[in-house]
Structure 1
Amino acid sequence: MRRYHLQYEIEELGIKELLPAYLKPNLEASDLVTGVCFASGGSGYDPLTSILEGSMSLSGQLDLFKEYIVKVKGLVGDERAKFILANSLFIVVAGSSDISNTYRTRSLLYDLPSYSDLLLNSASTFLTELNELGARRIAVFSAPPIGCLPFQRTVGGGIQKKCAPRPNNLAQLFNTKLSNLLRSINRNFPSSRNVFVNVYDPLLEIILNYQKYGNQSLN
């Protein structure tokens, strides 16, 4: 989960100006019941990603969430804690570091379909457990067009430095599977709403038609 995405969204929703980190040393009790952030920049669905990036894995973030639930129950009681979990918005943003960085390490062992399956299996485990722990409103962001990042365009975009097709193909493949996964999870948890947030297409539209959006250069 990426923290910098969340700050804008929380402020836009009018919940609070700043979403504090759960591990913040002087975190107040009021912050626990109004929302905290468990994200660790550089983590991903692939367990190897957090090792390479030196970040906390998704399983580690889930462990913190379980600890958080115990604390909230201690503050407001079991029933109120269940209500808070069921009515909170959970935002999951992952996959970029997997596709941009870790796949280069994995590419000798995995082709695009098999690596997207690896990511999907991890996402399934994570999201299923999140639902089992009481989350009911979960927004899961798609992978963006990673191949359009400057580094990816430099190493894989040819002499014209166009968007690199391989990472973009992987992102699209994973996004299709992720969207289908969320529909399956919703069937397994009828009271939950796991929503796929497609950021790939609008971002690619802006990148490919940058002049239409007031930019003079793609660089």
Structure 2
Amino acid sequence: MKINSKESLVIVLIYVFVFMRSNYAQDTLVPAIITFGDSVVDVGNNDYLTTIFKANYPPIGRDFANHQPTGRFCNGKLATDITAETLGFKSFAPAYLSPQASGKNLLIGANFASAASGYDEKTAILNDLYGLGGRKIGVASLPPLGCLPATRTLFGFHDNGCVSRIKNDAQRFNKKLNSAATNLQKQLPGLKIVVFDIFKPLYDLVHPPSKYGTQYFH
């Protein structure tokens, strides 16, 4: 999938689910889940890379199983974990770089996400995944990047507590993402691709939070 944009984004948060065929018998709606992305869905690959972007220390993971950090950039489960449970999985696909990524553990899938990996057209692989048998693919949209705490810290905030330019960049990217997904589905027979809109629900939480019973002060 090729998406051209002249706009540069401070942070790119995008991930891809691929539901693959497998001969491993299990009571799930799909046989396996392959995940690509960055810190939004990294389950520990960065623990095995030489990088400053790691999530293997407290208090990260305090709400996860055993209250221990797992390499997830989150206090508990990721969206991909919840998706896997919804689809009937009793355990989560391992980080591909971890020692657990071997044998039968790989029959339920693998996670290739790496924090701070960003978006690079040279690593776009949807056509390759289709060639390997992937027919059900889910892609997450960008969130309201201009409303992220890191963005506001770096650039200050403008309308509605967000950095307008960067928020608008994310919206333009999402529009092109939807268009590219539609075109790809037309080009590849049997492909089912869904774009998960995470922009709107997250933006609704920010503007205004009082709608959900939250008060804030500037």
TM (norm. structure 1) is: 0.58
Correspondence 1:30 to 2:84: no
Name the residue aligned to 1:131. 130
Counterpart-to-counterpart distance in 1, 2:158 and 2:136: 45
Q: Cα offset for 1:190?
A: 1.9
In 2 relative to 1, CA 5–42 (structure 1 residues): closer, same or farther, beyond 3 Å? farther
Counterpart-to-counterpart distance in 1, 2:84 and 2:160: 35
Name the residue aligned to 1:216. 215
Counterpart-to-counterpart distance in 2, 1:6 and 1:46: 21
In 2 relative to 1, CA 192–167 (structure 1 residues): closer, same or farther, beyond 3 Å? same
* Aligned partner of residue 113 in structure 2, secondary structure: coil
Q: What is the letter of the counterpart of residue 44 of structure 1?
A: G
* Aligned partner of residue 36 in structure 1, secondary structure: strand
Counterpart-to-counterpart distance in 2, 1:137 and 1:163: 34
Correspondence 1:203 to 2:202: yes
Contact 1:6-1:19 at 8 Å conserved across structures: no
Correspondence 1:192 to 2:186: no
Q: Spell out, residue by residue over 1:158-217, the C-alpha distance to the aligned partner (whole angstroms, 9 max, x if none).
A: 478820011111100010001000011101112111111111011111110211212222
- Unmatched 5+ stretches in structure 1: 48-57, 60-124
Contact 2:140-2:195 at 8 Å conserved across structures: yes
Q: Cα offset for 1:140?
A: 0.3
Contact 2:94-2:106 at 8 Å conserved across structures: no
Counterpart-to-counterpart distance in 2, 1:196 and 1:156: 29
Counterpart-to-counterpart distance in 1, 2:120 and 2:173: 12
In 2 relative to 1, CA 26–15 (structure 1 residues): closer, same or farther, beyond 3 Å? closer
Contact 1:143-1:175 at 8 Å conserved across structures: yes
Counterpart-to-counterpart distance in 1, 2:160 and 2:208: 15
Relative CO higher for 1 or 2, CA cutoff 8 Å, sep ≥ 6? 2
Q: What is the letter of the counterpart of residue 142 of structure 1?
A: S
Instruction: Tell me the matched-pair count.
Output: 144
Contact 1:20-1:31 at 8 Å conserved across structures: yes
Aligned ranges 1:49-68 → 2 under 5 Å: 59=123
Q: What is the letter of the counterpart of residue 203 of structure 2?
A: L
- Unmatched 5+ stretches in structure 2: 1-36, 43-77
Which is richer in strand?
2
Q: Spell out, residue by residue over 1:60-114, the C-alpha distance to the aligned partner (whole angstroms, 9 max, x if none).
A: xxxxxxxxxxxxxxxxxxxxxxxxxxxxxxxxxxxxxxxxxxxxxxxxxxxxxxx
Correspondence 1:162 to 2:155: no
Q: Cα offset for 1:126?
A: 2.5
Contact 1:156-1:165 at 8 Å conserved across structures: no
Q: What is the letter of the counterpart of residue 195 of structure 2?
A: F
Contact 2:136-2:193 at 8 Å conserved across structures: yes
* Aligned partner of residue 14 in structure 1, secondary structure: coil
Q: What is the letter of the counterpart of residue 103 of structure 2?
A: A
